[in-house]
Amino acid sequence: MKSKKLTMNIVIALVAGIIIGSICDIYADTSLVKGVDQYFFNTVGQIFLNLIFMLVVPVVFVSIVLGVVGVGDPKLLGGIGLKTLVFFLCTTAIAITIAIVLALVVKPGAGHSDLMKSTEVASYQKTLDKQSEGAEAPANQTFDQTLINLFPKNPIESMTQGNMLQVITFSIFIGIGMMVLGDKALVVRQFFEQFNEILMYIISMIMRLFAPIGTFCLVAHAFTGAGLGAIKQLGLYFIVVLAALILHFFLIYGGTIKFIAKDSPIKFFKGFIPAITIGFGGSSSNAALPVSMECTKKMGVRPA
């Protein structure tokens, strides 16, 4: 009952954030709206995101370690990993195909090249350039370098930098070591299990206390800065993106739940609404990861 109430509150907050943010955008030049946007919408929204982000690395690390240990047999681990990789590559390829087909058919950018020359786009590009300074773009990495970068030289540094692939690799090795040692690593396994319980409690607390107001502030801040004017300018682009997401969401993931997991897609979608709204409001799949873990637990996925 509490889960349904929380889900409803998050959805209401999402809609309210769009409405209030769009209204505020009309008066965006006034000092009152600027103050509310900066010191309330942005501040509360970023605090909420930071609370979620602080749990991402610990949740991934602990969950993967326990997941590997829970397999029980190193021989099974390779099969599960291979199936996961194949599923990821297939769904990614399908998603890219859907996006390309829709873009080629609808051509959302036709006749709007002037938008790419706007000051807003130029400013955003400068921000991206600053963020990527000193970092090698993945597209420029060779295949061998990509493989090398999967393995951390310093796992602690990988955690502090949020390098999730290296964190996952390290987690798998720790899990394999604990699985092979068995009872010799029983105390360590109990520590990870108890640590996981603590993390799940913190996630539940953050979601219960901050999720609705955090979602509202994130969305309101985004729409105060962009407003309905941006949606009108890029309306066709928004439609194409949403259409691609909806098709992939319902057809691919819904079909997977129905025919592979043999479960109800509607039940799955309802259970994951909190994670979906956090991902949408924060524009980050990483931010939604701890919430996703909590959603899976509430939906009956057994712990490792």
CA distance 106 to 3: 39
DSSP secondary structure letter of residue 118: S
* Whole-number pLDDT of residue 178: 92
* Whole-number pLDDT of residue 81: 78
Q: 185-199: per-residue pLDDT in tens? A: 999 999 999 998 898
Give the CA distances from residue 117 to residues 47, 113, 122, in Å, rounded to whole numbers and listed in that order.
33, 7, 7
Q: Look at 82-96, 101-115, 182-196, 255-269 and tell me which has the smallest mean pLDDT.
A: 101-115
How would residue 94 be classed by pLDDT, with cut points 50, 70 and 90? very high
Closest CA to 239 of 107, 94, 121: 107
* Whole-number pLDDT of residue 157: 93
* Whole-number pLDDT of residue 192: 94
| pTM (whole model) above 0.95 | no
How would residue 3 be classed by pLDDT, with cut points 50, 70 and 90? low
Residue 289 buriedness (CB in 10 A; 0-12 / 13-18 / 19+) = buried
Residues in the chain: 304
Are 166 and 150 contacting, i.e. CB atoms less than 8 angstroms apart? yes
* Whole-number pLDDT of residue 206: 87
Mean pLDDT of the chain, nearest integer: 81
* Whole-number pLDDT of residue 245: 86
Task: Tell me which of 277 and 58 has the higher pLDDT.
Answer: 58
CA distance 136 to 153: 17
How would residue 284 be classed by pLDDT, with cut points 50, 70 and 90? low
The separation between CA 274 and the C-alpha centre of its own chain, rounded to angstroms, equals 11
CA distance 247 to 14: 21
Q: 221-277: per-residue pLDDT in tens? A: 888 876 665 565 566 777 888 889 889 989 998 898 888 888 888 888 888 887 777
Give the CA distances from residue 53 to residues 13, 87, 132, 161, 181, in Å, rounded to whole numbers and listed in that order.
20, 26, 20, 12, 32
Task: Tell me which of 187 and 286 has the higher pLDDT.
Answer: 187
Task: Tell me which of 121 and 164 has the higher pLDDT.
Answer: 164
> Does residue 205 have a pLDDT over 60?
yes
Task: Tell me which of 92 and 126 has the higher pLDDT.
Answer: 92
Closest CA to 225 of 108, 100, 135, 124: 124
Task: Tell me which of 248 and 137 has the higher pLDDT.
Answer: 248
> Does residue 171 have a pLDDT over 90?
yes
Mean pLDDT computed over 91-119 = 77
* Whole-number pLDDT of residue 109: 66
Q: How many CA atoms lie within 13 A of 141 on its CB side?
A: 12
How would residue 213 be classed by pLDDT, with cut points 50, 70 and 90? very high
Q: 144-155: per-residue pLDDT in tens? A: 888 888 899 999
Mean pLDDT computed over 201-205 = 87
